[in-house]
Structures are given as C-alpha cells and as structure tokens.
Amino acid sequence: MTCMPDEDVEFHNAIKEVFLKYPEAQRRYALSSLALEDEMGIDFDKKVGVSRVEDGKIITEFVDRESVIRMQLCLKWNFDYTRCLHWIEAPK
C-alpha cells in the first residue's frame, strides 16, 4: 500500500487480524471508507447508494430510501448490519 491510514490504527489492525484469521474472505470483502460520502453530505438515514455497471464503469447514485423498489443486493452494511448503505441492482 502506498498510503496507510493514520487514523484508527488499532481498529485497522484488528480488521487485518480478522482477514488473516479468515483468508477465504479476503477476496470477497474489503474495508471501505465513507470519506467521499461524507464529503458529499450523504445522510444514510434518508439516502442509499444504488450502483450499476455501465460501459466498464461502476455508476453510483444516491437516492431516497423509499424510492428504491427494485430487487437489490446489499454491497455495504453499517457496522452492525442493521442498515444497508449501498445497493446494487440484482441480476435479471
């Protein structure tokens, strides 16, 4: 890595230990920062990210939670898995 986090070092080390303990999960999961969403002022109580693949790009839009009625698969959960933060449309 060229840039290691300098905040929450103990937290990141604990997550690293979990990945080392469960190596099969290393290719399915990653730790993700919400820095861009914070910069945009996304209120996850009201909005949810919905993504789709288009022309080799991942396009994410943040929409009102109540407006999302399609079949979805959750990509990012909050810390205790009580709320999805980011969806992808389910395959047809």
Q: What is the pLDDT of residues 13-37, one digit of tens each?
A: 898 899 999 999 888 888 888 889 9
User: Does one domain contain both 26 and 60?
Assistant: no
User: Does one domain contain both 40 and 13?
Assistant: no
User: Does one domain contain both 39 and 83?
Assistant: yes
User: pTM for this structure?
Assistant: 0.63
Predicted confidence at residue 1, as pLDDT, reads: 41
Q: Return contacts of 61-69, CB within 8 angstroms, 24+ apart.
A: 62/37
Amino acid residing at 51: S
User: Does one domain contain both 47 and 92?
Assistant: yes
CA 41-33-18 angle, to 5 degrees, is 150
**Distance (Å, rounded) from C-alpha 53 to C-alpha 12?**
29
What residues does 61 pair with on adjacent strands?
Answer: 50
Please give the residue range of the domain that contains residue 86: 33-92
| Mean pLDDT in residue range 82-90 | 81
Q: Is the pLDDT of residue 3 over 70?
A: no
Structural domain total, the chain: 2
- Residue 85: in which H helix or E strand, if any? strand 84-89
User: Does one domain contain both 41 and 22?
Assistant: no
| Mean pLDDT in residue range 64-80 | 78
User: Does one domain contain both 46 and 88?
Assistant: yes
Predicted confidence at residue 84, as pLDDT, reads: 85
